[in-house]
Amino acid sequence: MGKKKEIKMSGTILFGIFCLLLVLKSTVTAEEDISFIYVYTGAEQIFQVPYTGVYRFELYGAQGGNSEKKEGGKGGQITATMRLCRGDKLYIFVGGQNGYNGGGRGTVNGGGATDIRKEGEKLNDRILTAGGGGGANRIYAGGEGGIESVKGAAVGNGEDSMEGAGGGGGYLGGHAGTEYIVNHVHNGDYVHGGECFTPIYHVHSGDPVTGGGCYSIVNLHGEHTDSCYDHTPVREGNWVYSGAIAESSVPTAQTAYIIVCDLCGAEKISSGTGDSGRHCIQGGERTELKCGLTFNSIVSYSLGCGKSTDTIDGYYQSCRKLYDEYYAFRSSGGTNWYDEDICAAVESRAGVQEGGGLCRIELLSMDSKYLPGVESLHAYYNGTKGRKAYYKGNLVYFE
């Protein structure tokens, strides 16, 4: 009997040592062990606050979608602390690179925002938001998420684009990165002019000497006058008799003959009494025919078109937009945001996260006043009730 009793006592001691080892093993710190991570799932996720205390939230928005040549904008980051009570329910939406949670739709989608909502699941219930990056197009990389940008579309949603990249989701959605082709149409025509056609003003072609173009009226040589002659006395020989007798002659004078100028071929009547001294005197000094032109010879040309240089003859195509034109604009990311009545110690950064979004939650300190009365010395860790909890700064020890 006595021997069996001793063995029983020894078993009790061993069991006690085993329990002590379990207690020692369960000693933890809030900073190292009480943390939670949520990644992109494409659906709402719920965080039920396990302990009353101060928690640190670290949120990352999703990167925007990549194009063939450019990368989507990286998501923003925001961190904040907030005091929560055990049993509080938070709704977590982790953004996706495919646009889940606010990324604008397009050929490439903008990155979705990552946000936390309290006391409800609607956009108005958000308390902390990390913006997603803008999508990329063929020309520009996507804009960074988490910047303070101008609102692009509805609150929370990035702007959509039928042709191009969507804007990033955030508290305020980002602008879309549009790209499109404009088919150019030539306005106006060759007859009436217009935006793409410039007038052709009349130009006088040709010249008064050689004619042509606008100088088309012919000026002919008329009868020989004094202006045709130099009147410089020269030797005989310019005028010769043609042998023909003129039909009329100077009265009381010798017989009149037709004489011909051997310079120009001009004909005139000459008699023994002369020809008033203009041409020649038979048997005496003679004057020289200078112009050298016959009757009806072309002397010059004059302007005959009837148009001034201000007259418009037509139009020519002067438009610089001869082909279709391609336009591209860069997208922008969504904005970070926090509820200043709930969040403290906030830090915000733009263009941090690659790929999908992320939410990390960490318990910084536990509020010992939460457990009243007889339960004041008890705390819960991972669903297990401990007998005692020790607090030293931000460290929590369970027993």
**Measured between alpha carbons, how far is residue 387 from residues 51, 397, 398 in Å?**
15, 11, 8
| End-to-end C-alpha distance for the chain, whole angstroms | 37
pTM: 0.55
Half-sphere exposure of 138 (CA within 13 A, CB side): 8
Over residues 147-164, the mean pLDDT reads: 78
Q: The tokens of 99 are what?
A: 């646009």
User: To the nearest 10°, the Cα dihedral for 299, 300, 306, 307?
Assistant: 180
Amino acid code (one letter) for 306: G
Could you tell me which of 157, 131, 128 has the C-alpha nearest to residue 143?
A: 131
Which tens digits make up the pLDDT trace of 234-266?
334 455 556 565 554 444 444 555 666 655 666
State the Cα–Cα distance between residues 14 and 30, nearest whole angstrom.
Answer: 31
pLDDT confidence of residue 255: 56
Half-sphere exposure of 336 (CA within 13 A, CB side): 25
Over residues 155-183, the mean pLDDT reads: 89
Spatial neighbors of 328 by CB under 8 A, at least 6 apart, are: 137, 138, 139, 140, 164, 177, 178, 179
Which tens digits make up the pLDDT trace of 198-231?
999 999 988 988 888 899 899 888 776 656 655 4
Angle at alpha carbon of residue 19, lines to 13 and 23, rounded to 5°: 140
Classify residue 212 by its DSSP letter. B
Q: Are 104 and 157 in contact (CB under 8 A)?
A: yes
Spatial neighbors of 356 by CB under 8 A, at least 6 apart, are: 39, 40, 62, 63, 94, 95, 96, 97
Q: Is the pLDDT of residue 10 over 60?
A: no
**DSSP assignment of 371-388:** S-GGGTT-EEETTEEES-
State the Cα–Cα distance between residues 153 and 146, nearest whole angstrom.
Answer: 16
Over residues 141-168, the mean pLDDT reads: 84
Which tens digits make up the pLDDT trace of 73-98?
999 999 999 999 999 999 999 999 99
Domain boundaries defined on the chain: 27-181+328-372, 222-290
Over residues 181-196, the mean pLDDT reads: 86
State the Cα–Cα distance between residues 340 and 359, nearest whole angstrom.
Answer: 19
Which tens digits make up the pLDDT trace of 224-238?
665 665 544 433 445
Which tens digits make up the pLDDT trace of 282-301?
333 344 445 667 778 888 89
Element (H, E) at 9: helix 2-25
State the Cα–Cα distance between residues 167 and 80, nearest whole angstrom.
Answer: 25
Confidence of residue 376 (pLDDT cuts 50, 70, 90): very low
Could you tell me which of 98, 129, 92 has the C-alpha nearest to residue 112?
A: 98
Confidence of residue 34 (pLDDT cuts 50, 70, 90): confident
Q: Are 149 and 139 in contact (CB under 8 A)?
A: no
Q: Map tokens 């989701």 to a residue.
A: 169
In percent, the amount of the chain with pLDDT more than 70 equals 65
Spatial neighbors of 244 by CB under 8 A, at least 6 apart, are: 257, 258
pLDDT confidence of residue 364: 86
